[in-house]
Amino acid sequence: MNKGDALLKFIVLADLHIVAEGSLSHGLDTTDRLNKAIDFVNTNHADADFVIVAGDLADRGDLPAYQRFEKAITRLELPVHLTLGNHDDRTNFLSHFGPDLAAETGNVDHVIDLKGQRIIVLDSSDRSVGGSGLLETSQLAWLQARLDEARDVPVIIVLHHNITRLHTQNDFIILKDNAEFAGIVGSHPDIRQVISGHVHMTTAGTYKGIPFCTLAGCHYSIDPTLESRSGPRPSPVARREGPGELAVVLSDGEATVVHMEKFIDRHLVIAQELFP
Ligand SMILES: [Fe+2]
């Protein structure tokens, strides 16, 4: 694979939390919100190379939700790559979409090589760790191999769970083997971004030198109470019905930029005549 100068463009959606027909998720019509995201992408980003849906496709991992999700996502006019989050059920997902969506790891992992760049999509769902995420030993070995064979090109990683604490209420459900993940990822000379959903918040930072960001996604968004150094975890978490947010990734041989775009906005647009 040769490092290219062509501009790679892809979209990340996350946290759809689709429920069965006739149901709402915490009062929200999550399928309607997904449809708004799809319309936004089809209208504004038809030139993107593909879309990644980074987990929590279904709110309770049930088959009717996956059926409803599949029906909705077919309206997207771009290739789609899926992976799972803590709300998903891998057995139900693979029984509906077929075993071919699993990599040799048995998880819904993918490698996409395009325009001289490699995108690695990791399935961090693991029902044994509750809402947290976990990459199995086989997945970590697979990740190392995929990075080793792409040492000469930029790599972007997408997975559901955030890879470090964000100093918010939800720090107890992050990627549990984040130190092992960072040890492997840190061996690659050109990691551009690790992009996650899960937290329903927009953040950016670094973890052990690895740049990461999180997108607020399609479901409710969280107004975090940043942790105090001594006090107990504050609760309850304040949740807003918007905005709905997706990530637009633009990446070439030199730089990778992530734009967080709102496809549902809780603010009014300021009239054009106020900007003479
Ligand atoms: Fe999640």
Cα of 14 from ligand 1 centre, angstroms? 9
Cα of 131 from ligand 1 centre, angstroms? 7
Q: Is residue 276 part of a domain?
A: no
Q: Is residue 273 part of a domain?
A: no
Q: Is residue 3 part of a domain?
A: no
Task: Identify the CATH number of the domain in which residue 200 sits.
Answer: 3.60.21.10
Which structural domain, as residue segments, surrounds residue 16?
8-267
Cα of 189 from ligand 1 centre, angstroms? 29
pLDDT tens column, 123-132: 999 999 999 9
Round to whole Å and give the CA distance between 105 and 83. Answer: 13
Cα of 1 from ligand 1 centre, angstroms? 33
Cα of 56 from ligand 1 centre, angstroms? 6
Return the pLDDT at 235: 61
Cα of 164 from ligand 1 centre, angstroms? 14
Q: Is residue 92 part of a domain?
A: yes
Q: Among 81-90, 132-141, 264-273, which is the least confidently predicted range? A: 264-273
Return the pLDDT at 34: 98
Cα of 87 from ligand 1 centre, angstroms? 6
pLDDT tens column, 61-115: 999 999 999 999 999 999 999 999 999 999 999 999 999 999 999 999 999 999 9
Return the pLDDT at 265: 83
Round to whole Å and give the CA distance between 245 and 153. Answer: 29
* Percent of the chain residues topping a pLDDT of 90: 85
Round to whole Å and give the CA distance between 62 and 68. Answer: 10
Q: 105: how many CB neighbours lie within 10 A of its CB?
A: 18
Q: Is residue 89 part of a domain?
A: yes
Return the pLDDT at 228: 56
Domain count, the chain: 1
Cα of 85 from ligand 1 centre, angstroms? 5
Round to whole Å and give the CA distance between 246 and 54. Answer: 11
Q: Is residue 272 part of a domain?
A: no
pLDDT tens column, 211-261: 999 999 999 998 877 765 555 555 677 888 888 999 999 999 999 999 999
Return the pLDDT at 276: 85
Q: Kindly list the protein residues that place their beta carbon closer than 5 angstroms to ligand 1, a single-atom ion.
A: 56, 85-86, 198
- Give the torsion through C-alpha atoms of 51, 140, 88, 81, to 10 deg: 20
Cα of 195 from ligand 1 centre, angstroms? 13
pLDDT tens column, 16-33: 999 999 999 999 999 999
Q: Is residue 88 part of a domain?
A: yes
Q: Is residue 256 part of a domain?
A: yes
Cα of 54 from ligand 1 centre, angstroms? 9
Contacts of 99 (CB under 8 A, 6+ apart): none
Cα of 106 from ligand 1 centre, angstroms? 20
Cα of 114 from ligand 1 centre, angstroms? 28
Cβ atoms 42, 77 nearer than 8 A: yes
Cα of 160 from ligand 1 centre, angstroms? 7
Considering only CA atoms, which of 155, 253, 168, 252 is closest in space to residue 202?
Answer: 168
Cα of 129 from ligand 1 centre, angstroms? 12
